[in-house]
Structure 1
Amino acid sequence: MNAPLSLGQAAQAVASGSHSAAEVLEACIARIEATDARVNAFTGTRFEAARAQAERVDAQRARGEPLGPLAGVPFAVKNLFDIAGEVTLAGAQVNRADPPATADAVLVQRLQAAGAVLVGSLNMDEYAYGFTTENTHFGPTHNPHRLDCSAGGSSGGSGAAVAAGQVPLALGSDTNGSIRVPASLCGVWGLKPTFGRLSRRGSYPFVHSLDHLGPFADDLPGLALAYDALQGADPLDPGCHATTVQPTARSLGLGIQGLRVGVLGGYFAEHTTAPAREVAALAAQALGATATVEWPDALQARAAAFIVSASEGGALHLHRLRTRAADYEPLSVDRFIAGAMQPAAWYVRAQRFRRVYRDKVNALFRDWDVLIAPATPVPAQPLGTEWVEINGQRLPCRPSVGLLTQPISFAGCPVVAAPLWPSGTGGLPIGVQLIAAPWREDLALRAGMALHNAGLAHCKPVEF
């Protein structure tokens, strides 16, 4: 095999026997070894353990035993997921002295139970506090489509690894946009599920009341297949509110007939550039969306999300900040200290506002099934960019790439980030968010499939 297969191709090839799991894995390993010196997506690899996993999949097939739906599919995880026997770094130097994890994170276990093969861990912003993966401890992750540009963050290694063809599947986390921003800037598929849908047990936290975990993939059917494997109740995780599995992969063929689709205006139109508006318009046309919908209190929700993130993050790290502040990255240490110093009343007010806000957002979905918005206001910017102009305003670059994602996560809605390719960006992508009501990931995935079938949303291979 000369080149790695996409997620769907890999799963089908192993299931049919046209390729062995070992062959699929070796193609990914070769791609990682050939490209990662330039991309810097991986912070650790476990190729020998992966080879042993692939051999077990092939032995199962040889014995005629049933295979899991992801049998032989290589995957990697943001390095805040526990991997048994390894230290969970969470992008930080401080964590190096921690004891190794005693068990794999629940979502890692579930992918491996479905037959997927774990090949390594991926770069991220320190403690998931950032949007660019310009990590001073492990180096910046580079955007595979233009190596001098950011891959986004905080799950930048996950988005870049999938975009570079290193793995067809990766896991990341999303608190304020950390799946959707890298998916948008790297041109891959990403899914931020409903808050509380997937177990977070075995992952390093950032903001307990906002953290989501979810997959990246290089094709939409594969994204749904992986999401289905990740689902399930977890009685040991009090933050996992799911009680049943909602199969979505088999619903992709239902199409969008009858779906009520609208386009977010107001805040979501004002905080964009021309390429971002173009992808939203393309998606709207393909999905038959003609109405503009106003999302309530988006600006206030973003402000409240900042308060909650800073406060919870600061409280979590306060004990280490007192003794090891010099071991943190300069940007994150300042934000954590500032968060820890916020008046408690601010946090209480932000959470009270959140309850009212969620009720307003949920009311929107009485009239709409899917809502469209750009995922980022701009395409990937050169690494080190400090300022960016958005609709006539000069704004700080790092936080501004999350302008369009933070209000959505604060409501806890599920979102599929679909990769589109606007004009005027020099070949760089911008994603669109396909937003559904809580617990209706299936509707967002169906809308994504319609964009794929229309020839709009797809990953593009990268030549190095």
Structure 2
Amino acid sequence: MAEFTKRSARELASEIRTGRLSVLTLLESILDRIEAIDELNAFVTVIEESARESARKADAAAARGEDLGPLHGVPVAIKDLRNRKAGVRNTMGLAPLENNMADEDSITVERLEAAGAVIVGTTNTPALGHTIKTENRLVGSTPTPFDHNQSAGGSSGGSAAALAAGAVPLATGSDIGGSLRVPASCCNVIGLKPTFGLVPERVPFDGFSTHSPFFVGGPMARTAEDTALLLDVLAGQDERDPFSVPRPETKYVEATDRPTAELSVAYSPNLDLQPVASTVREAVDTAVADLAAAGATVDTVDVSLPSYEELSMAYVTQVGAFFSAFAQQLADQYDIDFETADVEDTVRSTIALGTETDAADDRLQNVPRTAAYDGIQDALTGYDVLVTPTLTVPPYSKHLTDGYPTEIGGQSVMGVPTDVMLTWVFNMTGHPVASVPAGFTDDGLPIGLQIVGQRFAEADILSVAAALERVRPWTDQYPVGELISQR
């Protein structure tokens, strides 16, 4: 089993294509691994028989010499929220939807399977993806594999934990405030929030709901090259998504070969917005210094944003309206009364954020959003990317009831999710961002850094991610052996 736990998707696809590896053999190893990490609660549903049937068909296609897709035979996990596979449970982390079955494939699943991927199951998420801790009443909390008391992050925590624990080489996530990047930081993997519209999605009921703030799906992986490979599969226009756009002609995988000396990086230790814990600052400082030592041009820059209070209020207002509308749509479709249903208190409080917001107030929040966009654009001027920490603190408690820190970097904070992350700003501005591993605290907790690019400049982000991976490789730093021994 350990043979496949750290292998990249590209390596596995290559061995399948050349006949050196059977898809079914690989799948059985993956299923064993998923069983071995059951204590992480990374998966909601594992679809063994469906995956085995797909693996048999993939082996037969390879034996016949058919033209194979870029992910032929590669196991992939999908987040149990907006990604749906027909005939498979789609709970969205809600206990009232425990037995809800998807009746159609999402665009993401269509593209994965068209590329030859074998979907092995759905990964854990907090109810409705509403927060940055992955815990729900269906399967419990998902910790980071590096410390089973600390959170894998959210809301794509199941996908991130599955990757870090060696259960799959690729997974999907989604992001409305950090839900791809926060778990990536907590689990020492990569999560990329693409430019709005690049990865299409057909949202039932309301195809325009993802616009304010920007909600997107994106790839998660352990390596920059695998992240690029998955983005190559997912990106591109689909007429069912009114916001989707054509993808660039170049392949994202090719961007990972760009020489480090060609890269220019602007660095902000805290976006000039909020306090950052010293352990996080030190890890990110070191990673950025190593990137500079490897030949990249790196300059520390100022970032002019609205105040934390003004910008976070704009975010909370708009994300509250988003979740309130989302909940109402689900209530109407599935006959759920969120006031009395078996859901977490944090779900009800998140929904309540938007119940008193009128349309004019929601629209007025675009004023600080515009100022934030301009500030990020100014910081990026003359550089390929802007780098900043992903979280302001190391991974925090995995339980929703435990709350968040009330002091960071010696400063008092409100103890709310926006305090502990620097991710949500970019859901307001729409810039593409990836979180990649930056290092560890003294007690072994992973720290991530964000790489921010111009809109539709995912290639620049992936170039910098690959350069950082070359100078600071992290794929041998996962606690796979420890997890096996605990089985």
- Give the TM bin, normalised by the shorter chain: over 0.9
Give, in whole Å, the separation in 1 of the partners of 2:87 and 2:205.
15
Contact 2:323-2:351 within 8 A present in 1 as well: yes
Q: Within 5 A, what are the aligned runs for 1:3-402?
A: 3-4=3-4, 5-36=7-38, 38-80=39-81, 81-96=83-98, 100-201=101-202, 208-209=211-212, 210-242=214-246, 244-265=248-269, 267-268=271-272, 270-288=274-292, 289-297=297-305, 299=308, 300-318=310-328, 320=331, 323-327=337-341, 328-384=343-399, 385-388=402-405, 389-395=407-413, 399-400=417-418, 402=420
Contact 1:162-1:218 within 8 A present in 2 as well: yes
Quote how far apart the aligned CAs of 1:141 are.
0.9
Deviates more, 1:193-202 or 1:205-214: 205-214
Could you give the per-residue CA deviations for residues 31-86 of structure 1, whole angstroms, max 9, x where no partner exists? 011111x1001110111111111111111111111211111110111101111023
Quote how far apart the aligned CAs of 1:344 are.
3.2
In the alignment, structure 2 segments of 5+ residues that lack a partner are: none
Q: With the length of structure 1 as denominator, give the TM-score of the two structures.
A: 0.93
Q: Secondary structure at the match of 2:217?
A: strand
Contact 1:375-1:417 within 8 A present in 2 as well: yes
Contact 2:272-2:305 within 8 A present in 1 as well: no
Matched, 1:421 2:429: no
Quote how far apart the aligned CAs of 1:443 are.
0.5
Contact 1:419-1:458 within 8 A present in 2 as well: no
- In structure 2, the CA distance between the partners of 1:402 and 1:112, relative to structure 1 (3 Å rule), is farther
Quote how far apart the aligned CAs of 1:390 are.
0.9
Q: Percent identity over the alignment?
A: 33
Give, in whole Å, the separation in 2 of the partners of 1:400 and 1:365.
23
- In structure 2, the CA distance between the partners of 1:357 and 1:421, relative to structure 1 (3 Å rule), is closer
Could you give the per-residue CA deviations for residues 141-170 of structure 1, whole angstroms, max 9, x where no partner exists? 121111111110011111111111111111
Give, in whole Å, the separation in 2 of the partners of 1:343 and 1:350.
11
Give, in whole Å, the separation in 1 of the partners of 2:411 and 2:324.
30
Contact 1:75-1:168 within 8 A present in 2 as well: yes
Quote how far apart the aligned CAs of 1:228 are.
0.5
Quote how far apart the aligned CAs of 1:453 are.
0.7
- In structure 2, the CA distance between the partners of 1:331 and 1:105, relative to structure 1 (3 Å rule), is same
Q: With the length of structure 2 as denominator, give the TM-score of the two structures.
A: 0.89
Aligned length: 461
Give, in whole Å, the separation in 2 of the partners of 1:14 and 1:82.
26
Deviates more, 1:254-263 or 1:57-66: 254-263
Could you give the per-residue CA deviations for residues 216-263 of structure 1, whole angstroms, max 9, x where no partner exists? 112221111111011111111012233545411012112233322110
In the alignment, structure 1 segments of 5+ residues that lack a partner are: none
Matched residue, 2:455:
438
Deviates more, 1:387-396 or 1:119-128: 387-396
Give, in whole Å, the separation in 2 of the partners of 1:408 and 1:306.
14
Contact 2:131-2:154 within 8 A present in 1 as well: yes
Q: CA RMSD in A?
A: 2.3
Contact 2:162-2:168 within 8 A present in 1 as well: yes
Could you give the per-residue CA deviations for residues 272-292 of structure 1, whole angstroms, max 9, x where no partner exists? 112211232123213325422
- In structure 2, the CA distance between the partners of 1:45 and 1:164, relative to structure 1 (3 Å rule), is same
Quote how far apart the aligned CAs of 1:374 are.
0.8
